[in-house]
């Protein structure tokens, strides 16, 4: 099974105590934990279980984490 795609220039790193940390270089991080099917902004333990099930849940999970991080950056830029 292939890994979910990230936008160009973004990176992913498996960190045992957190899950997968995705980085938007120069902007921030989001942590994705596939075990609980959830994500959190920043580099931290994911505490909330997400509502991801069915075919393609992993792609939706990563896409939502990317979108959430991009939205935070857009709000900061708008200030």
Q: Per-residue pLDDT for the chain (79 aa), expressed as one digit of tens each?
A: 578 999 999 999 999 999 999 999 999 999 999 999 999 999 999 998 889 999 999 999 999 999 999 999 888 777 7
Q: Is residue 3 part of a domain?
A: no
Name the nearest CA neighbour of 66 among 17, 34, 32, 43. Answer: 32
Q: Which regions of the chain does DSSP assign to beta strands (E)? A: 11-15, 19-24, 28-33, 38-41
Whether 6 is covered by a domain: the verdict is no
CB-based contact 41:28 (threshold 8 Å): yes
- Domain range enclosing 45: 11-78
Is residue 47 situated within a structural domain? yes
pTM of the model as a whole: 0.90
**φ, ψ dihedrals at 20, nearest 5°:** -105, 120
Is 24 inside any structural domain? yes
Could you tell me if residue 31 is inside a domain?
yes
Q: How many domains does the chain have?
A: 1
């Amino acid at each position: 099974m292939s890994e979910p795609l990230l936008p160009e220039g973004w990176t992913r790193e498996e960190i045992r105590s957190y899950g997968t940390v995705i980085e938007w270089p120069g902007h921030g991080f989001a942590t994705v934990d596939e075990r609980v099917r959830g994500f959190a902004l920043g580099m931290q333990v994911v505490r909330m279980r997400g509502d991801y099930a069915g075919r393609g849940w992993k792609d939706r999970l990563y896409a939502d984490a990317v979108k959430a991080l991009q939205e935070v950056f857009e709000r900061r830029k708008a200030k």
